[in-house]
Protein backbone atom coordinates (compact mmCIF):
# COMPACT_ATOMS: atom_id res chain seq x y z
CA UNK A 1 0.00 0.00 0.00
CA UNK A 2 1.16 3.51 -0.82
CA UNK A 3 2.55 5.24 2.32
CA UNK A 4 0.16 8.19 2.02
CA UNK A 5 -2.87 5.92 1.70
CA UNK A 6 -1.73 3.95 4.76
CA UNK A 7 -1.27 7.17 6.75
CA UNK A 8 -4.75 8.40 5.70
CA UNK A 9 -6.30 5.10 6.77
CA UNK A 10 -4.48 5.18 10.12
CA UNK A 11 -5.63 8.75 10.72
CA UNK A 12 -9.20 7.88 9.79
CA UNK A 13 -9.24 4.83 12.08
CA UNK A 14 -7.81 6.93 14.92
CA UNK A 15 -10.46 9.64 14.34
CA UNK A 16 -13.17 6.99 14.42
CA UNK A 17 -11.84 5.83 17.78
CA UNK A 18 -11.70 9.41 19.06
CA UNK A 19 -15.33 9.98 18.10
CA UNK A 20 -16.48 7.07 20.29
CA UNK A 21 -17.21 7.58 23.99
CA UNK A 22 -14.41 6.33 26.24
CA UNK A 23 -15.60 4.31 29.18
CA UNK A 24 -14.22 1.86 31.71
CA UNK A 25 -13.71 -1.83 30.95
CA UNK A 26 -15.07 -3.76 33.93
CA UNK A 27 -16.00 -7.44 33.83
CA UNK A 28 -16.02 -7.47 30.03
CA UNK A 29 -18.40 -4.48 29.68
CA UNK A 30 -17.69 -0.86 28.81
CA UNK A 31 -19.37 1.29 31.48
CA UNK A 32 -19.29 4.97 32.51
CA UNK A 33 -18.10 6.10 35.94
CA UNK A 34 -21.03 5.77 38.38
CA UNK A 35 -20.93 9.51 39.03
CA UNK A 36 -20.87 10.24 35.30
CA UNK A 37 -17.67 12.23 35.86
CA UNK A 38 -15.24 12.64 32.98
CA UNK A 39 -11.74 14.03 32.42
CA UNK A 40 -10.57 16.01 29.42
CA UNK A 41 -7.55 14.68 27.51
CA UNK A 42 -5.48 17.38 25.80
CA UNK A 43 -3.44 17.23 22.62
CA UNK A 44 -0.02 18.45 23.84
CA UNK A 45 0.81 19.77 20.37
CA UNK A 46 -2.05 22.28 20.52
CA UNK A 47 -3.11 22.43 24.15
CA UNK A 48 -6.68 21.78 22.93
CA UNK A 49 -9.10 19.00 23.93
CA UNK A 50 -8.67 15.71 22.14
CA UNK A 51 -11.12 13.45 23.97
CA UNK A 52 -12.98 12.84 27.21
CA UNK A 53 -12.47 9.78 29.35
CA UNK A 54 -14.42 8.40 32.31
CA UNK A 55 -13.13 9.47 35.72
CA UNK A 56 -13.20 6.26 37.70
CA UNK A 57 -12.68 6.30 41.46
CA UNK A 58 -12.70 3.87 44.35
CA UNK A 59 -16.15 2.41 43.51
CA UNK A 60 -15.09 1.58 39.96
CA UNK A 61 -11.74 0.21 41.12
CA UNK A 62 -13.55 -2.00 43.60
CA UNK A 63 -15.91 -3.30 40.89
CA UNK A 64 -12.94 -3.96 38.60
CA UNK A 65 -11.02 -5.83 41.32
CA UNK A 66 -14.08 -7.96 42.07
CA UNK A 67 -14.44 -8.77 38.36
CA UNK A 68 -10.74 -9.67 38.17
CA UNK A 69 -11.02 -11.88 41.26
CA UNK A 70 -14.03 -13.74 39.83
CA UNK A 71 -12.21 -14.28 36.55
CA UNK A 72 -9.08 -15.46 38.36
CA UNK A 73 -10.93 -18.09 40.37
CA UNK A 74 -13.38 -19.45 37.85
CA UNK A 75 -13.46 -21.17 34.49
CA UNK A 76 -12.74 -20.46 31.74
CA UNK A 77 -9.59 -18.52 32.73
CA UNK A 78 -8.68 -20.56 35.80
CA UNK A 79 -8.94 -23.80 33.79
CA UNK A 80 -7.19 -22.57 30.67
CA UNK A 81 -4.02 -24.42 29.76
CA UNK A 82 -0.86 -22.34 29.52
CA UNK A 83 -0.68 -22.99 25.78
CA UNK A 84 -4.20 -21.55 25.43
CA UNK A 85 -3.15 -18.40 27.28
CA UNK A 86 -0.20 -18.23 24.88
CA UNK A 87 -2.54 -18.59 21.90
CA UNK A 88 -4.64 -15.64 23.10
CA UNK A 89 -1.53 -13.51 23.61
CA UNK A 90 -0.23 -14.37 20.13
CA UNK A 91 -3.64 -13.38 18.75
CA UNK A 92 -3.44 -10.10 20.62
CA UNK A 93 0.05 -9.47 19.16
CA UNK A 94 -1.34 -10.12 15.67
CA UNK A 95 -4.31 -7.81 16.31
CA UNK A 96 -1.98 -5.03 17.46
CA UNK A 97 0.29 -5.59 14.47
CA UNK A 98 -2.56 -5.33 12.01
CA UNK A 99 -3.62 -2.01 13.58
CA UNK A 100 -0.13 -0.74 14.35
CA UNK A 101 -0.41 2.39 12.19
CA UNK A 102 -3.73 3.38 13.76
CA UNK A 103 -2.43 2.82 17.30
CA UNK A 104 0.72 4.78 16.50
CA UNK A 105 -1.34 7.67 15.15
CA UNK A 106 -3.50 7.74 18.25
CA UNK A 107 -0.52 7.56 20.59
CA UNK A 108 1.31 10.26 18.64
CA UNK A 109 -1.69 12.58 19.02
CA UNK A 110 -2.19 11.74 22.67
CA UNK A 111 1.44 11.86 23.86
CA UNK A 112 2.94 14.13 21.21
CA UNK A 113 5.80 11.84 20.15
CA UNK A 114 6.81 11.61 16.47
CA UNK A 115 4.66 9.10 14.64
CA UNK A 116 7.63 7.28 13.10
CA UNK A 117 9.33 6.64 16.41
CA UNK A 118 6.04 5.62 18.06
CA UNK A 119 5.34 3.15 15.23
CA UNK A 120 8.85 1.72 14.93
CA UNK A 121 9.94 1.83 18.57
CA UNK A 122 6.94 1.75 20.94
CA UNK A 123 4.43 -0.25 18.93
CA UNK A 124 7.05 -2.55 17.40
CA UNK A 125 8.44 -3.28 20.87
CA UNK A 126 4.92 -3.81 22.23
CA UNK A 127 4.20 -6.44 19.56
CA UNK A 128 7.49 -8.18 20.35
CA UNK A 129 6.79 -7.95 24.07
CA UNK A 130 3.39 -9.66 23.62
CA UNK A 131 5.02 -12.45 21.62
CA UNK A 132 7.74 -12.86 24.25
CA UNK A 133 5.06 -13.12 26.95
CA UNK A 134 3.14 -15.65 24.87
CA UNK A 135 6.28 -17.75 24.39
CA UNK A 136 6.90 -17.80 28.16
CA UNK A 137 3.39 -18.89 29.17
CA UNK A 138 4.16 -22.63 29.29
CA UNK A 139 7.80 -22.25 30.37
CA UNK A 140 7.39 -20.70 33.81
CA UNK A 141 7.85 -23.81 35.91
CA UNK A 142 9.17 -24.82 39.30
CA UNK A 143 11.83 -27.42 40.03
CA UNK A 144 11.97 -30.89 41.51
CA UNK A 145 14.55 -32.44 43.78
CA UNK A 146 14.98 -35.64 45.69
CA UNK A 147 14.66 -34.46 49.26
CA UNK A 148 16.50 -37.20 51.13
CA UNK A 149 19.67 -39.14 50.40
CA UNK A 150 17.98 -42.53 50.80
CA UNK A 151 15.17 -41.50 48.50
CA UNK A 152 12.46 -41.42 51.20
CA UNK A 153 10.67 -38.61 49.51
CA UNK A 154 10.62 -35.95 46.93
CA UNK A 155 10.34 -32.19 47.08
CA UNK A 156 9.37 -29.74 44.40
CA UNK A 157 8.27 -26.20 44.08
CA UNK A 158 5.51 -24.69 41.98
CA UNK A 159 5.20 -21.25 40.55
CA UNK A 160 1.58 -20.18 40.85
CA UNK A 161 0.01 -17.01 39.45
CA UNK A 162 0.04 -14.33 42.13
CA UNK A 163 -3.67 -13.51 41.69
CA UNK A 164 -5.15 -10.12 40.87
CA UNK A 165 -2.51 -7.63 39.71
CA UNK A 166 -3.00 -3.86 39.74
CA UNK A 167 -1.06 -2.17 36.95
CA UNK A 168 -0.43 1.59 37.12
CA UNK A 169 1.19 3.08 34.03
CA UNK A 170 2.65 6.47 33.03
CA UNK A 171 2.03 8.76 30.07
CA UNK A 172 5.45 8.71 28.40
CA UNK A 173 5.13 5.31 26.69
CA UNK A 174 1.54 4.42 27.53
CA UNK A 175 0.88 1.59 25.08
CA UNK A 176 4.21 -0.17 25.57
CA UNK A 177 4.04 0.15 29.36
CA UNK A 178 0.51 -1.30 29.43
CA UNK A 179 1.56 -4.23 27.24
CA UNK A 180 4.79 -4.82 29.19
CA UNK A 181 2.70 -5.34 32.32
CA UNK A 182 -0.42 -7.02 30.93
CA UNK A 183 1.49 -9.56 28.79
CA UNK A 184 3.56 -11.25 31.53
CA UNK A 185 0.70 -11.08 34.05
CA UNK A 186 -1.67 -12.92 31.70
CA UNK A 187 1.04 -15.32 30.51
CA UNK A 188 1.38 -16.78 34.00
CA UNK A 189 -2.39 -16.82 34.65
CA UNK A 190 -3.06 -13.64 36.65
CA UNK A 191 -5.96 -11.30 35.99
CA UNK A 192 -5.44 -7.53 35.98
CA UNK A 193 -6.83 -4.07 36.64
CA UNK A 194 -5.01 -1.42 34.61
CA UNK A 195 -5.01 2.25 35.64
CA UNK A 196 -3.50 4.25 32.75
CA UNK A 197 -2.17 7.79 33.21
CA UNK A 198 -4.83 10.44 32.83
CA UNK A 199 -2.56 12.52 30.55
CA UNK A 200 -2.30 9.88 27.78
CA UNK A 201 -4.85 7.10 28.30
CA UNK A 202 -6.23 6.57 24.79
CA UNK A 203 -4.13 3.71 23.41
CA UNK A 204 -4.65 1.68 26.59
CA UNK A 205 -8.39 1.97 25.93
CA UNK A 206 -7.88 0.92 22.31
CA UNK A 207 -5.89 -2.05 23.61
CA UNK A 208 -8.86 -2.88 25.84
CA UNK A 209 -11.13 -2.97 22.77
CA UNK A 210 -8.77 -5.39 21.02
CA UNK A 211 -8.55 -7.56 24.13
CA UNK A 212 -12.36 -7.78 24.24
CA UNK A 213 -12.61 -8.52 20.51
CA UNK A 214 -10.16 -11.39 20.36
CA UNK A 215 -11.79 -13.46 23.07
CA UNK A 216 -10.07 -13.05 26.44
CA UNK A 217 -12.65 -14.13 29.02
CA UNK A 218 -14.63 -11.36 30.74
CA UNK A 219 -12.91 -9.81 33.73
CA UNK A 220 -9.39 -11.03 32.86
CA UNK A 221 -8.40 -7.50 31.84
CA UNK A 222 -10.17 -4.52 33.41
CA UNK A 223 -9.28 -0.90 32.68
CA UNK A 224 -10.17 1.98 34.99
CA UNK A 225 -9.16 5.45 33.84
CA UNK A 226 -9.15 8.21 36.45
CA UNK A 227 -6.91 10.38 38.55
CA UNK A 228 -3.87 8.92 40.27
CA UNK A 229 -4.75 10.13 43.77
CA UNK A 230 -8.23 8.63 43.34
CA UNK A 231 -8.30 5.55 41.06
CA UNK A 232 -4.55 4.82 41.42
CA UNK A 233 -4.58 5.20 45.17
CA UNK A 234 -7.71 3.03 45.51
CA UNK A 235 -5.99 0.28 43.54
CA UNK A 236 -2.78 0.39 45.54
CA UNK A 237 -4.74 0.27 48.83
CA UNK A 238 -7.25 -2.38 47.74
CA UNK A 239 -7.18 -5.37 50.12
CA UNK A 240 -7.99 -7.90 47.41
CA UNK A 241 -5.17 -6.92 45.03
CA UNK A 242 -2.18 -9.26 45.36
CA UNK A 243 0.40 -7.25 43.46
CA UNK A 244 0.98 -3.75 42.14
CA UNK A 245 3.24 -3.15 39.16
CA UNK A 246 3.89 0.58 38.86
CA UNK A 247 5.88 2.79 36.49
CA UNK A 248 6.17 6.48 37.26
CA UNK A 249 7.77 8.91 39.67
CA UNK A 250 9.81 7.90 42.70
CA UNK A 251 7.51 10.06 44.85
CA UNK A 252 4.38 8.11 43.90
CA UNK A 253 6.34 4.83 43.94
CA UNK A 254 7.06 5.38 47.63
CA UNK A 255 3.40 6.03 48.38
CA UNK A 256 2.50 2.79 46.59
CA UNK A 257 5.04 0.87 48.63
CA UNK A 258 3.51 2.26 51.82
CA UNK A 259 -0.04 1.45 50.66
CA UNK A 260 1.02 -2.09 49.72
CA UNK A 261 1.98 -2.80 53.33
CA UNK A 262 -1.75 -2.98 54.22
CA UNK A 263 -2.19 -6.50 52.85
CA UNK A 264 1.51 -7.14 52.04
CA UNK A 265 1.01 -6.81 48.29
CA UNK A 266 3.93 -7.78 46.14
CA UNK A 267 5.30 -4.70 44.42
CA UNK A 268 7.34 -3.98 41.31
CA UNK A 269 8.36 -0.35 40.93
CA UNK A 270 9.97 1.10 37.81
CA UNK A 271 10.78 4.65 38.81
CA UNK A 272 12.79 7.68 37.81
CA UNK A 273 16.38 7.99 36.69
CA UNK A 274 19.20 10.49 36.27
CA UNK A 275 21.37 8.37 34.08
CA UNK A 276 25.03 9.25 33.50
CA UNK A 277 26.78 9.09 30.14
CA UNK A 278 30.53 8.60 30.53
CA UNK A 279 32.70 9.44 27.53
CA UNK A 280 36.36 8.38 27.73
CA UNK A 281 39.01 10.04 25.51
CA UNK A 282 39.32 7.05 23.15
CA UNK A 283 35.58 6.99 22.27
CA UNK A 284 34.23 7.30 18.73
CA UNK A 285 33.06 10.92 19.13
CA UNK A 286 30.95 11.05 15.99
CA UNK A 287 28.89 8.04 17.02
CA UNK A 288 28.72 9.16 20.62
CA UNK A 289 27.59 12.71 19.75
CA UNK A 290 24.84 11.45 17.45
CA UNK A 291 23.55 8.92 19.95
CA UNK A 292 23.67 11.31 22.92
CA UNK A 293 21.79 14.08 21.06
CA UNK A 294 19.25 11.63 19.69
CA UNK A 295 18.63 10.06 23.08
CA UNK A 296 18.04 13.30 24.98
CA UNK A 297 15.46 14.30 22.33
CA UNK A 298 13.82 10.85 22.21
CA UNK A 299 10.32 11.30 23.68
CA UNK A 300 11.35 14.94 24.30
CA UNK A 301 13.54 13.67 27.12
CA UNK A 302 10.50 12.18 28.88
CA UNK A 303 12.06 8.79 29.18
CA UNK A 304 13.11 7.20 32.45
CA UNK A 305 16.37 5.66 31.19
CA UNK A 306 17.48 8.74 29.22
CA UNK A 307 21.13 9.75 29.58
CA UNK A 308 20.84 13.21 31.12
CA UNK A 309 24.22 13.79 32.85
CA UNK A 310 27.16 13.83 30.48
CA UNK A 311 30.51 13.18 32.19
CA UNK A 312 33.24 13.72 29.64
CA UNK A 313 37.03 13.72 29.78
CA UNK A 314 38.32 17.29 29.62
CA UNK A 315 40.53 16.59 26.58
CA UNK A 316 37.47 15.96 24.37
CA UNK A 317 34.94 18.15 26.19
CA UNK A 318 34.82 21.01 23.67
CA UNK A 319 34.79 18.86 20.56
CA UNK A 320 32.08 16.55 21.90
CA UNK A 321 29.81 19.30 23.22
CA UNK A 322 30.11 21.27 19.96
CA UNK A 323 29.05 18.20 17.99
CA UNK A 324 26.15 17.49 20.35
CA UNK A 325 24.99 21.12 20.29
CA UNK A 326 25.02 21.07 16.48
CA UNK A 327 22.89 17.92 16.40
CA UNK A 328 20.46 19.21 19.03
CA UNK A 329 19.92 22.54 17.31
CA UNK A 330 19.19 20.79 14.00
CA UNK A 331 16.39 18.62 15.46
CA UNK A 332 13.06 19.42 13.84
CA UNK A 333 10.52 20.12 16.58
CA UNK A 334 6.78 19.96 15.89
CA UNK A 335 3.53 18.05 16.41
CA UNK A 336 4.07 14.30 16.53
CA UNK A 337 1.88 13.59 13.51
CA UNK A 338 3.41 16.30 11.28
CA UNK A 339 5.72 14.99 8.55
CA UNK A 340 9.42 15.29 9.38
CA UNK A 341 8.98 15.95 13.10
CA UNK A 342 11.88 14.56 15.11
CA UNK A 343 10.86 15.82 18.54
CA UNK A 344 7.37 16.58 19.83
CA UNK A 345 6.01 18.67 22.71
CA UNK A 346 6.24 18.12 26.44
CA UNK A 347 3.13 16.32 27.70
CA UNK A 348 1.51 19.20 29.65
CA UNK A 349 1.84 22.81 30.72
CA UNK A 350 2.74 21.63 34.23
CA UNK A 351 5.57 19.44 32.96
CA UNK A 352 6.77 22.21 30.62
CA UNK A 353 6.93 24.68 33.54
CA UNK A 354 8.90 22.11 35.51
CA UNK A 355 11.42 21.64 32.70
CA UNK A 356 11.84 25.40 32.20
CA UNK A 357 12.28 25.74 35.97
CA UNK A 358 15.22 23.31 35.94
CA UNK A 359 16.87 25.13 33.02
CA UNK A 360 16.50 28.46 34.83
CA UNK A 361 17.82 27.01 38.10
CA UNK A 362 20.84 25.44 36.35
CA UNK A 363 21.64 28.72 34.66
CA UNK A 364 21.24 30.68 37.92
CA UNK A 365 23.54 28.21 39.69
CA UNK A 366 26.35 28.76 37.15
CA UNK A 367 25.79 26.30 34.31
CA UNK A 368 26.12 27.80 30.84
CA UNK A 369 23.46 27.26 28.18
CA UNK A 370 25.19 26.54 24.87
CA UNK A 371 22.13 25.44 22.92
CA UNK A 372 18.37 25.93 23.35
CA UNK A 373 17.04 26.96 26.74
CA UNK A 374 13.70 28.51 25.82
CA UNK A 375 10.05 27.67 25.33
CA UNK A 376 9.14 27.61 21.64
CA UNK A 377 6.64 30.33 20.82
CA UNK A 378 3.72 28.39 19.35
CA UNK A 379 0.57 26.61 20.54
CA UNK A 380 1.16 23.50 22.60
CA UNK A 381 3.91 22.73 25.10
CA UNK A 382 7.17 22.97 23.17
CA UNK A 383 10.68 23.57 24.47
CA UNK A 384 14.04 23.74 22.68
CA UNK A 385 16.49 20.87 23.09
CA UNK A 386 18.86 22.31 25.68
CA UNK A 387 22.54 21.72 26.42
CA UNK A 388 24.20 23.19 29.52
CA UNK A 389 27.94 22.91 30.19
CA UNK A 390 29.76 23.52 33.48
CA UNK A 391 26.97 21.75 35.31
CA UNK A 392 28.25 20.56 38.67
CA UNK A 393 27.07 17.60 40.71
CA UNK A 394 25.29 19.70 43.34
CA UNK A 395 22.91 21.41 40.90
CA UNK A 396 19.25 20.31 40.86
CA UNK A 397 19.68 19.92 37.11
CA UNK A 398 22.23 17.14 37.78
CA UNK A 399 20.36 15.49 40.66
CA UNK A 400 16.64 15.51 39.79
CA UNK A 401 14.76 13.79 37.00
CA UNK A 402 13.97 16.77 34.75
CA UNK A 403 11.95 14.74 32.19
CA UNK A 404 12.68 17.09 29.31
CA UNK A 405 15.25 17.44 26.50
CA UNK A 406 17.85 18.90 28.84
CA UNK A 407 21.43 17.62 29.02
CA UNK A 408 23.91 18.82 31.67
CA UNK A 409 27.64 18.40 31.04
CA UNK A 410 30.50 18.10 33.49
CA UNK A 411 34.20 17.35 32.80
CA UNK A 412 36.63 15.06 34.63
CA UNK A 413 40.42 15.05 34.37
CA UNK A 414 41.92 11.61 35.05
CA UNK A 415 40.71 9.08 32.47
CA UNK A 416 42.58 6.27 34.23
CA UNK A 417 40.94 6.74 37.62
CA UNK A 418 37.89 4.55 37.03
CA UNK A 419 36.93 4.57 40.70
CA UNK A 420 36.65 8.35 40.65
CA UNK A 421 34.68 8.30 37.38
CA UNK A 422 32.28 5.72 38.82
CA UNK A 423 31.88 7.81 41.98
CA UNK A 424 30.86 10.81 39.85
CA UNK A 425 28.47 8.65 37.83
CA UNK A 426 26.91 7.10 40.94
CA UNK A 427 26.40 10.43 42.70
CA UNK A 428 22.59 10.62 42.66
CA UNK A 429 19.73 8.88 44.46
CA UNK A 430 18.92 7.05 41.21
CA UNK A 431 20.39 3.94 39.58
CA UNK A 432 18.33 3.07 36.53
CA UNK A 433 20.68 3.17 33.57
CA UNK A 434 24.25 4.20 32.74
CA UNK A 435 25.88 4.70 29.35
CA UNK A 436 29.54 4.42 28.50
CA UNK A 437 31.54 5.29 25.40
CA UNK A 438 35.03 3.81 25.05
CA UNK A 439 36.95 1.51 22.71
CA UNK A 440 38.89 0.02 25.60
CA UNK A 441 37.41 -3.32 26.64
CA UNK A 442 39.15 -3.33 29.99
CA UNK A 443 37.72 0.06 31.03
CA UNK A 444 34.31 -0.94 29.69
CA UNK A 445 34.07 -4.11 31.74
CA UNK A 446 35.58 -2.58 34.86
CA UNK A 447 33.27 0.43 34.78
CA UNK A 448 30.23 -1.78 34.09
CA UNK A 449 30.98 -3.52 37.40
CA UNK A 450 31.46 -0.27 39.33
CA UNK A 451 28.32 1.52 38.10
CA UNK A 452 25.28 1.37 40.36
CA UNK A 453 22.64 0.93 37.69
CA UNK A 454 20.19 -1.76 36.64
CA UNK A 455 21.28 -1.34 33.04
CA UNK A 456 24.67 -0.44 31.52
CA UNK A 457 24.77 0.42 27.82
CA UNK A 458 28.20 0.44 26.21
CA UNK A 459 28.80 2.16 22.85
CA UNK A 460 25.07 2.56 22.21
CA UNK A 461 24.25 -1.16 22.51
CA UNK A 462 20.66 -1.57 21.35
CA UNK A 463 17.98 -2.28 23.92
CA UNK A 464 16.49 -5.75 24.08
CA UNK A 465 13.06 -5.88 25.71
CA UNK A 466 13.76 -9.44 26.91
CA UNK A 467 16.57 -8.32 29.19
CA UNK A 468 15.53 -7.58 32.77
CA UNK A 469 14.90 -3.86 33.28
CA UNK A 470 14.71 -1.98 36.57
CA UNK A 471 16.64 0.14 38.96
CA UNK A 472 19.17 0.17 41.75
CA UNK A 473 18.67 2.59 44.67
CA UNK A 474 15.62 4.87 44.36
CA UNK A 475 15.01 3.93 40.73
CA UNK A 476 12.83 1.05 41.76
CA UNK A 477 12.22 -2.40 43.05
CA UNK A 478 12.24 -5.64 41.06
CA UNK A 479 12.63 -6.15 37.34
CA UNK A 480 10.38 -6.13 34.31
CA UNK A 481 11.04 -7.73 30.92
CA UNK A 482 11.46 -11.26 29.64
CA UNK A 483 11.49 -14.20 32.03
CA UNK A 484 12.29 -12.08 35.10
CA UNK A 485 9.23 -9.95 34.40
CA UNK A 486 6.96 -12.99 34.14
CA UNK A 487 8.39 -14.54 37.32
CA UNK A 488 7.47 -11.37 39.21
CA UNK A 489 3.79 -12.23 38.72
CA UNK A 490 4.19 -15.63 40.43
CA UNK A 491 4.32 -16.97 43.98
CA UNK A 492 6.49 -19.93 44.90
CA UNK A 493 5.02 -22.86 46.76
CA UNK A 494 7.26 -25.69 48.01
CA UNK A 495 5.79 -29.18 48.35
CA UNK A 496 7.49 -32.08 50.18
CA UNK A 497 6.23 -35.64 49.88
CA UNK A 498 7.31 -38.54 52.09
CA UNK A 499 7.08 -42.01 50.55
P1 LIG B 1 3.25 10.06 38.44
O2 LIG B 1 4.20 9.19 39.13
O3 LIG B 1 2.36 10.93 39.24
O4 LIG B 1 2.26 9.19 37.48
C5 LIG B 1 2.45 7.85 37.09
C6 LIG B 1 1.15 7.07 37.29
O7 LIG B 1 0.81 7.02 38.67
C8 LIG B 1 -0.05 7.69 36.60
O9 LIG B 1 -0.93 6.68 36.15
C10 LIG B 1 -0.70 8.47 37.73
O11 LIG B 1 -2.05 8.75 37.51
C12 LIG B 1 -0.50 7.51 38.87
N13 LIG B 1 -0.59 8.12 40.20
C14 LIG B 1 -0.40 9.40 40.56
N15 LIG B 1 -0.58 9.55 41.89
C16 LIG B 1 -0.89 8.33 42.38
C17 LIG B 1 -1.18 7.83 43.69
N18 LIG B 1 -1.18 8.62 44.76
N19 LIG B 1 -1.43 6.51 43.82
C20 LIG B 1 -1.41 5.68 42.76
N21 LIG B 1 -1.17 6.11 41.50
C22 LIG B 1 -0.90 7.41 41.31
O23 LIG B 1 4.03 10.92 37.39
P24 LIG B 1 3.66 12.40 36.87
O25 LIG B 1 2.71 12.22 35.77
O26 LIG B 1 3.19 13.29 37.98
O27 LIG B 1 5.07 12.91 36.39
C28 LIG B 1 5.94 13.55 37.34
C29 LIG B 1 7.35 13.08 37.21
O30 LIG B 1 7.39 11.67 37.39
C31 LIG B 1 7.98 13.27 35.84
O32 LIG B 1 8.48 14.55 35.67
C33 LIG B 1 9.06 12.24 35.87
O34 LIG B 1 10.16 12.75 36.59
C35 LIG B 1 8.45 11.10 36.65
N36 LIG B 1 7.90 10.05 35.77
C37 LIG B 1 8.67 8.95 35.56
C38 LIG B 1 8.24 7.99 34.69
C39 LIG B 1 9.05 6.78 34.41
O40 LIG B 1 8.95 6.21 33.32
N41 LIG B 1 9.83 6.30 35.35
C42 LIG B 1 6.97 8.11 33.96
C43 LIG B 1 6.20 9.28 34.31
C44 LIG B 1 6.69 10.21 35.17
P45 LIG B 1 -2.51 10.13 36.80
O46 LIG B 1 -1.51 10.46 35.77
O47 LIG B 1 -3.81 9.77 36.21
O48 LIG B 1 -2.61 11.12 37.88
User: Nearest Cα to 408, choosing from 441, 376, 367?
Assistant: 367
Instruction: Give the distance (Å) from ligand 1 centre to CA of residue 432.
Output: 17
List residues with catalytic annotation: 270, 304
Instruction: Give the distance (Å) from ligand 1 centre to CA of residue 252.
Output: 6
**Consecutive H or E run containing 208:** helix 202-213
Ligand 1 pocket mutation, candidates 54, 170, 251, criterion most atoms within 8 A of CB:
170
Ligand 1 pocket mutation, candidates 228, 267, 478, criterion most atoms within 8 A of CB:
228
Handedness of CA 427, 431, 436, 440 (dihedral sign): positive
Residue 230 Cβ < 6 Å to ligand 1: no
Residue 121 Cβ < 6 Å to ligand 1: no
Question: Along the 499 residues of the chain, how does pLDDT read in single tens digits?
Answer: 677 887 889 999 999 999 999 999 999 999 999 999 999 999 999 999 999 999 999 999 999 999 999 999 999 999 999 999 999 999 999 999 999 999 999 999 999 999 999 999 999 999 999 999 999 999 999 998 766 666 778 889 999 999 999 999 999 999 999 999 999 999 999 999 999 999 999 999 999 999 999 999 999 999 999 999 999 999 999 999 999 999 999 999 999 999 999 999 999 999 999 999 999 999 999 999 999 999 999 999 999 999 999 999 999 999 999 999 999 999 999 999 999 999 999 999 999 999 999 999 999 999 999 999 999 999 999 999 999 999 999 999 999 999 999 999 999 999 999 999 999 999 999 999 999 999 999 999 999 999 999 999 999 987 788 999 999 999 999 999 999 999 999 999 999 998 8
**Consecutive H or E run containing 438:** none
Query: Which CA distances in Å does 337 have to 88, 112, 178, 266, 333?
Result: 31, 8, 22, 39, 11
Residue 178 Cβ < 6 Å to ligand 1: no
Residue 245 Cβ < 6 Å to ligand 1: no
Residue 168 Cβ < 6 Å to ligand 1: yes
Atom of ligand 1 nearest to the CA of 233: 19
Ligand 1 pocket mutation, candidates 180, 248, 381, criterion most atoms within 8 A of CB:
248
Question: What is the Cα Rg of the chain in Å?
Answer: 23
What DSSP line would sit under 77-97, residue for residue?
GGG--HHHHHHHHHHHHHHHH
Instruction: Give the distance (Å) from ligand 1 centre to CA of residue 343.
Output: 22
Residue 176 Cβ < 6 Å to ligand 1: no
Residue 301 Cβ < 6 Å to ligand 1: no
pLDDT at 212: 96
Backbone torsions φ then ψ of 406, nearest 5 degrees: -130, 120
Atom of ligand 1 nearest to the CA of 400: 34
Query: Which CA distances in Å does 137 have to 95, 133, 343, 476, 487?
Result: 19, 6, 37, 25, 11
Query: Which CA distances in Å does 147 have to 38, 495, 497?
Result: 58, 10, 9
**Looking at ligand 1, which residue's alpha carbon is closest to its atom 13?**
228
Instruction: Give the distance (Å) from ligand 1 centre to CA of residue 33.
Output: 22
Helix (H, G, I), strand (E, B) or coil at 385: coil
Question: Which residues, 6+ apart, have CB-to-CB distance to 139 below 8 Å?
Answer: 483
Residue 400 Cβ < 6 Å to ligand 1: no
> What is the C-alpha separation between 11 and 428, in angstroms, rounded?
43
pTM over 0.85, yes/no: yes
Amino acid sequence: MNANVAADRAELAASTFLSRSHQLLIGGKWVPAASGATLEVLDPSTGKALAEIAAGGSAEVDAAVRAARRAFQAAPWAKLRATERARLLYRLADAVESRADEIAWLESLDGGNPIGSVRHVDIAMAIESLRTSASLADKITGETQLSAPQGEGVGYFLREPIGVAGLITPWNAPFLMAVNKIGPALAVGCTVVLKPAELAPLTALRLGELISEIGFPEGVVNIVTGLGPEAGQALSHHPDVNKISFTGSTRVGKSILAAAAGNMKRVTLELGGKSPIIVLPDADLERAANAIAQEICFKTGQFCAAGTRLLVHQSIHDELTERIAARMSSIKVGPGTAPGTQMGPIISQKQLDRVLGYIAAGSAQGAQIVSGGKRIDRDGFFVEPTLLVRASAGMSLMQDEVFGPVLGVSAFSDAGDLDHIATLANDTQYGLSAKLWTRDLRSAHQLARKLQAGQVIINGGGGDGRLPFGGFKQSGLGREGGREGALSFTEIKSVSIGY
